[in-house]
Amino acid sequence: MHTITNTVIRNDSYYYNLSIPHEHVSTYGTAVRFKLGDVSDGRPNYIKPEDVEQIVKRLTPLIMGSFRTGSKLDYRAAAKSLKPKVTLLSDMLKEYLAIRDISERPVGLAVDALVAVAGDREISDYTREDVRAFLVYMQQREVKTATVRRRLNSLSAIFNYSYAELDIDKRNPFTRVIIPKEGKDVSKRGVFTTEQLVEGYGLALTSGSTVKLLMPILGETGCRLAEIVGLRVEDVDLKNEVLHIRPNSHRRLKTAGSERSLPLVGHALDAVRLVMAKANGSDWLFPQYIKEDGCYATHASNALNKWLKRDFSDLTAHSLRHTVRDRLRASEVPLEAIDQLGGWSSVGGVGSRYGQGYSVVHLRQYMDRIAIQGRKTESSSNTTV
């Protein structure tokens, strides 16, 4: 039943319909009437009943006020300005990324997957049914449940932000989502043996390939691949044999704790020197992966992994990072130092986040414990940063 005050429905359209008080009829006529929008969903000018109700609730006092003051009011323009803003998911994604200043890729992948099954719609239109469709889509693509959980967390964050900014009083459909058989598909990531590292480093250092040189750099620093591929030449201090991992215009870092300074030891130092020599005056260590719109670390990952998977029992570049953590742990390096070296979020409690952390001198001592040594270099044991 149609119950919205001061409206009528004619020919599948809502019309604003206000009877003008008798004392103002001579000036304004007997009624104010004009079209607000279409009743049927799918028509070009469709308007939701709840939006009609909100427009009328705010428009009527404006019109009555204009009668009393004798001011001119463009009724249609006023109604249009009061119509709730249609804000698509894609619009809110752009706004969210701009404000948060975080890596676009994880959040973008989550939104792309949702749009693939539910479309790019007004942010308040998404329901739990869309969440279920999203889960089916991810399952059909055989995406690991850990990845599905990360995608859901990204979507939940966008919807929380959107609902707060747009004052939407609605439960976020992406919260408290149960993923069928979550965690049952976890498989322990493989790690490199010392023999494999020695063999791989030797091949990389004699290959003449900058892509293969990523192996000893990653394997002797524990860095994420994007952190290395996105390095600027100025981030490398060969004099003190130190690498500075910091954000730049083309590559963000995963977390605030990812920004750090690391000692270059063993074959990592050899590899960085070779890459620096190949930079040919570029500002970037790996200029082939730096484009105007960002750092194409995925391309480097694909190229490196093609070699590693073929020659090292299906191991990958990320396996090198896991291997470093295992090697440090086996050498009884303190957990806080391990987290600092790898830019991992510390699990050591609140106290672990206080103070300046370990100096590069101390970190070098720990890295020297596990280093697969390269060519002899002058000692940098007294280096401070």
Domain that holds residue 55: 7-82
Give 124 or 374, the one with higher predicted confidence.
124
State the average pLDDT over residues 281-296.
93
pLDDT given for residue 380 in this prediction: 39
Give the tens place of pLDDT for each residue, 46-71. 888 988 998 999 999 999 999 989 88
* Angle (CA) 352 151 104, round 5°: 80
Judge if 323 and 209 occupy the same domain: yes
- Separate counts of helices (H) and strands (E) for the chain: 15, 8
Task: Report the sign of the C-alpha dihedral through residues 331, 336, 340, 346, in that order.
Answer: positive
pLDDT at 85: 74
The predicted pLDDT at position 98 comes to 86
Work out the percent of the chain whose per-residue pLDDT is above 90. Answer: 73
Residue 19 located in a structural domain: yes
Query: Does residue 29 sit in the same domain as residue 126?
Result: no
The residues near 73 (Cβ < 8 Å, ≥ 6 apart) are 62, 63, 66
Same domain, 264 and 348: yes
pTM: 0.64
At 253, which amino acid appears? L
Of the residues 24, 53, 82, which one is the last residue of a structural domain? 82
| 253, 259 contact by CB (below 8 A) | yes
Q: What is the pLDDT of residues 219-237, one digit of tens each?
A: 999 999 999 999 999 999 9
pLDDT band, very low/low/confident/very high, at 375 (cuts 50, 70, 90): low
Three-state SS at 368 = helix
